[in-house]
Amino acid sequence: MVKVIYEIVEHDGGWAYRVNGVYSEAFPSHDMARKAAERAAMEQHVPGNTTAISWEDREYRWHQELSSGEDRPETEVNG
């Protein structure tokens, strides 16, 4: 099973969460960034329909995949 780790870090004059080297938008506080990361992590657990997805890796390359609605990753929020 894939594990997605959300890290809370200082970024762009505020706080953000980072996943695989990719940053979220900046939030004014650590608490706001953590809450946003927790929401995003929870959404990872929600099953859905099989669908095409696109995602960006840490080298800024975009990938296209078919994702099963039942294939949900394990998540963790650190920081």
Cβ atoms of 24 and 33 within 8 Å: the answer is yes
* β 74-78/3-11 pair status: parallel
Q: Could you tell me if residue 6 is left (phi over 0), alpha (psi between -120 and 50 degrees) or otherwise beta? A: beta
pLDDT at residue 10 in the model: 97
Residue numbers of the domain that contains 24: 3-78
Which residues of the chain fall below pLDDT 50? Answer: none
Structurally, the chain folds into a number of domains equal to 1
Q: Would you state the structure tokens that stand for residue 41, as one six-digit string?
A: 């992590």
